[in-house]
Each structure stands twice: as C-alpha cells, then as structure tokens.
Amino acid sequence: MKSILRVFGVFISYIFPFKLLRSLKSCRTYLYSGYIRNSFQKIGQNSYIEYPMTLIGGNCMNIGSNFYVNERLRIEAHTEHNFNHYSPKILIGNNVAINSDCHLACINQISIGNDVLIASKVFITDHFHGRADLNSLELPPNSRPLVSPGPVSIGNSVWIGENVAIMPNVNIGNNCIVGANSVVTKSFPENSVIAGVPAKLIRELKK
C-alpha cells in the first residue's frame, strides 16, 4: 500500500509541480489575509497571514503594516472568562514577523514594537489561571479566574528565538535577543542578550 501511495505521489507531481503548489498556497494566503483583516480593530497595509489562524477578540487588536504571520498562530484577547470581564489590548507595530505555531494570550495588554522577529513555538502571555495560593487550588485550573500581574511590552528590533515563553509583567527593551528555549520571567533593558530557564542576562550589546 505504501509503495502504491508513493507511486501515486510521483504521478501527482507531474500534474501539480511543487512550484505550482507553492503558488497556490501563496494565492490562498493573500485571499485569507484580505478576508480576515476586517476582524481586527485596525491592521495596516501589506499583511500576509497564512491559514489557519485562531483569532479571538480581534476588535481589541491594533496591528501595523507589513504584518507577516506563518500558519497556526493563536492570538487571543479575552474579554470574558468564567463570567469575569476584562479589557484586553494587543498592540503590534510595523514590520513584525511571527513564525509558525506561536500563541499570544491577553487579558490586560501585550505590546510589540516595530521590526520584531519571532521564531516558531513562542508563547507570550500577560496572565495566569488563578493565583499561586491554596484558595486557587480548591478549583480546577480552567475554573480559576484569570489574573494578570502586569502587561507585557516588547521593544523595537527584538529577536525572539524558538520555543520561548514570555511571562506576565515583563518588559523587554529595544534591540534585545532572546535565546531559544528561554522562559522570561522578569524585565531586561535594551541591548541585552538573554537566555535560560529562567532567562538571565548573558551579555550587553555595546557599540
């Protein structure tokens, strides 16, 4: 059966060459980008958003121009959870590129500056499911109220490596580099190279 499928794949490749499939995917992306742009409060020109994307609360999101997103982005601004109400805001600047399988979750505020590059499998959140206390433990995690210790701010020209988690109440300054597999639990000034679990300052970038 496997051999038959491989032969069938070769046959299909003559009918639909790889370049043609890539062109069809690009056409679908441009159609999807135009279709979904009205779901945002504001989005600039030249957005390129690959299908599929999970979008919650797009009317709470203000996005700049040249927004480039690979497939399977989850971007969520929750205004209600377990009958609790929130006023979230997601602000994204110009020339921001987000690779595949990333997740942004907001009940307070997440802001990302201009010229930011985010690798795959990055998680950015401004909240937790409940507090780290005994009262919260009496409820299942999904039944606990969402709690935000503070907003998340990512400056201009920041590069975030693959498989990074950025936790609430964190400010990452301009021109920072966040190493792959890091968990960022505190703020760092501009021109910092950070990495680790939890992330620590590796060195400062100086002219």
Domain ranges of the chain: 40-204
Reported as a single tens digit per residue, the pLDDT across 147-200 is 999 999 999 999 999 999 999 999 999 999 999 999 999 999 999 999 999 999
Class of domain 40-204: mainly beta
Reported as a single tens digit per residue, the pLDDT across 103-139 is 999 999 999 999 999 999 999 999 998 887 877 778 8
Who contacts 83 (Cβ-Cβ below 8 Å, separation ≥6)?
none
Task: Name the pTM for this structure.
Answer: 0.88
Catalytic residues: 129
Using CA atoms, how far residue 181 sits from 10, 49, 83, 98, in Å, is 38, 25, 34, 16
Reported as a single tens digit per residue, the pLDDT across 67-113 is 999 999 999 999 998 888 999 999 999 999 999 999 999 999 999 99
- Count of Cβ atoms closer than 10 Å to residue 45 Cβ: 10
